[in-house]
Structures are given as C-alpha cells and as structure tokens.
Amino acid sequence: MTVTAIVGANWGDEGKGKMTDALAGNSSFVVRYQGGSNAGHTIINGYGKFALHMLPSGVFYPNIMNVIGPGTALDVDVLLRERAELLARGVPEPRIRVSDRAQIVLPVHRLFDELEEERLGEAGFGSTKRGIAPFFADKYAKLGIQVADLYDEERLMQRLEQSLAAKNVLLVQLYNREPIQARELLAQLKVQAEKLLPYVCDTSSLLHDAYRKGESILLEGQLGALRDPDHGIYPYSTSSSTLAGYAPIGAGLPPYAITRIIAVVKAYSSCVGAGPFVSELHGAEADQLRRLGGDAGEFGALTGRPRRMGWFDAVASRYGCMLQGATEVALTNLDVLGYLDEIPVCTGYELDGEIIEDSFPVTAKLNGAKPILQRLPGWRSDISQIRRFDELPEAAQQYVRFVEASIGVKVGSVSVGPNREQLIMC
C-alpha cells in the first residue's frame, strides 16, 4: 500500500507540479488536499506547457483519478476553466472527483481579499487575491459553504445570509461599497452547482477503498513549509497547513497511511510574495539567475510577478525538511546553475553576533539575519540531457552531495530541466 506526499521544503515554487506529473504515471490517484487556486504548478509534457492552479497534476494521464479533497479551498470557476483549457489543447478528458465536503471559494472572498490588500497598501502580505484568507476565515468561523450545500437551496440561502450579514456591514462602513444580496449570489452558485455535479462524490470513502486495495495514491501539496501558518514565516504565510502531516486530514485518509514523503528542494532559492528571505539576491546578480531559472525565467505561475531570487539556503531547507518529515528529497533546477564558475550557498545565519546553523529563527528575528556564504565549484556546462547521476560532472555531483549532507536527508532524484523526462533517479 503506497501513499506518497509530495511537498515543498521552502517558500513554494520548488517544482512540486513537475515532480507530481513525473511520478503520477505509476499512480492510481492524485489528490489535492489543501490550499486553493492561489498558487500554480507549472508542467511541461507532450501536450505543451501548463500552469495548474486548481486541478491536481495527474490530469494529463487519462487512467488516473484526480481528487479535490475536503481540505481544499475549491474555486469552482477556476476548476471548470482549467478543465476546458485542457480539452481545448488536446488533453484527453481527465477523471476528476470533488469532495462533497470541500468548501467553496465565493466571489465575496475574492472581493474582500482585493479590498483588504488595497487598504493595507505597502503593509500588505503579498496576497494573490484569490480569496484564500477570507475563505479560511469563514471556514473556521463556521460560515463556509460546503459543496453539498449547493444542492439544498433552502440551506444554501440560509448559509449565504448568515455569511453576508457581517460582510455587508464591512463593505458599507469600511470599504465604502454596496452590500451584496444573498439572492444574487445564490443564482450564481446554482449555475456552478449544475456544472460541478458530475464530479461530486464522497472522496474520503473513495480513497479509503483505494487504500485498502493497495492502490498507489499521490498527495500533492501546495506552497512550502516556510509558508505554513504555524511553523513558517507568519504572517507572510498562507492560510492552510502546507505540511505533510496535514495531508491525511485534508485528503481524508488515516494518519498512518503515508509511507513516503518527498520534500521538493530547489538547487537555489526563490519565492513570490512578501516576507523575510535571508539569502535574497538583488540587482544584476538576481536578474541573471531569474532570467536563466525555471523553464522561461522565474516568474510566478499565477501572478506573473518576478520571483525573488537567492542562493540555496541550507538553514531554511534543513528546517523545512524536518517539518515535512521528509523521507527523501527531490532536488530541482540543478541545470540552471551551469553558468557559474563558483556557486554560493548559504550555510548559516549571523544574528546579533551569533552564528545560527541548526535552527530557523522566528519571523521577528529573521529580518536581522545575514547569510553566511560558502562557495562551491561550478561545472560550467549544460547537464540537461544527462539521465544518470554518475554521468554528471564531478562538481555537479559534489553539489548534490553537499545539499544531501547539509539537510540530512537522502536526495532521491535530481531534476535537470522542466520537462517530465529530465529527471535523474539517484
């Protein structure tokens, strides 16, 4: 019985979509269990280049069941639009199931996200404005709308009126906007409900049955450990747990089901959004790494914002892998570093005259931390066509071994390009 979680060890943008797509071919199920449409997983395969925000990354395999679990913030419009875009580009009809217990991201959630980020101005948190924080605020205030509520009009109307009561006061008094009428929102949701109905089921029972039968299940995480609201760089975090420990909860599986946790780590650092970033680069050095990174430069898959760039951060990566409980690491984007004679890596932080290597400071202290850099030899060559570890240049092998030693977790695979096939199994 194989249940594997694929999660990020850093700030997100590590390459989880590529790894999920690459491993999905040997799986029966791919499950989104947390987050929503607020981040994108970029995938390049025989059908082209895609950025998925709501659909699981197994949708390119017609035999795989792709599940939206109950822990997910479901944006129905994004899900349906992504499915239509896949079909328009020649991808076979994907198999999709949506939990009847998943909760819905409403238009009012997106509106409040935009209004609040606008109100905060420079003090904002770098929101993607997909309604995620207002959605989770409603979820834990018990004002959320479950998928099952869409098919009970009387209950749905009652839930909407409860949810809008306080929101309309804020809209009028704080944001100087017109109130939202529950009846108008109801009409929009009824249209969504009809389109969504063919995919709705009890996904927890579906996955429990698959688990008992020993079928292979991939749990696809969003963002990374440093964006976790409890253990990350709060308040510059997302609103749901990004850790593998949450995966069985958000998917609806037993806590002991996961036997393999792959933490995805980038060979350098990048992030989209605000918050402390100790190894961050600036100016021409950052621009060059950004231009050469990713598959077409390092820009947010959802926002298009230039990613903030930095060197590999051993302190942050060690901490992220520890939080994730990683059983192995997938090291991505190693090929990008082939332009350097020497490769700087951050091995520790200097904070108030103290050297920190074995712990990750709380957010309140991170802004005062300075990176301690070590330089490793570069390999000055294109490694994107190599498929065996022992065929990598010696300096590239040394770099992988350094990452492995610095985070204390075995590197099980190395990505040397954005395509599915550009993967070396170690």
Whole-number Å distance between alpha carbons of 326 and 63? 28
Which one is catalytic: 13, 21, 75, 113?
A: 13
Whose tokens are 């204390």? That residue is: 408
Each residue of 48-69: b (16+ CB within 10 Å) or e?
A: eebbbbbbbbbbbbeebbbbbb
Whole-number Å distance between alpha carbons of 371 and 352? 12
| Close Cβ partners of 178 (under 8 Å, ≥ 6 residues apart) | 171, 172
Indicate the burial class of 109 (C-beta count within 10 angstroms; 0-12, 13-18, 19 or more): buried
- The secondary structure of residue 249, as a DSSP letter, is H
Whole-number Å distance between alpha carbons of 293 and 10? 16
Whole-number Å distance between alpha carbons of 361 and 374? 20
Whole-number Å distance between alpha carbons of 5 and 20? 9
Which one is catalytic: 21, 41, 53, 113?
A: 41
DSSP strand pairing (65-68 vs 29-32): parallel
Give me the sign of the Cα torsion angle 175, 176, 182, 184: negative
- The answer to whether residues 346 and 313 touch, using CB atoms and an 8 Å cutoff, is yes
Active site residue 13: yes
Active site residue 341: no
Indicate the burial class of 137 (C-beta count within 10 angstroms; 0-12, 13-18, 19 or more): middle
Each residue of 5-31: b (16+ CB within 10 Å) or e?
A: bbbbbbbbbbbbbbbbbbbbeebbbbb
Longest dimension (CA), the chain: 67
Residues that are catalytic: 13, 41
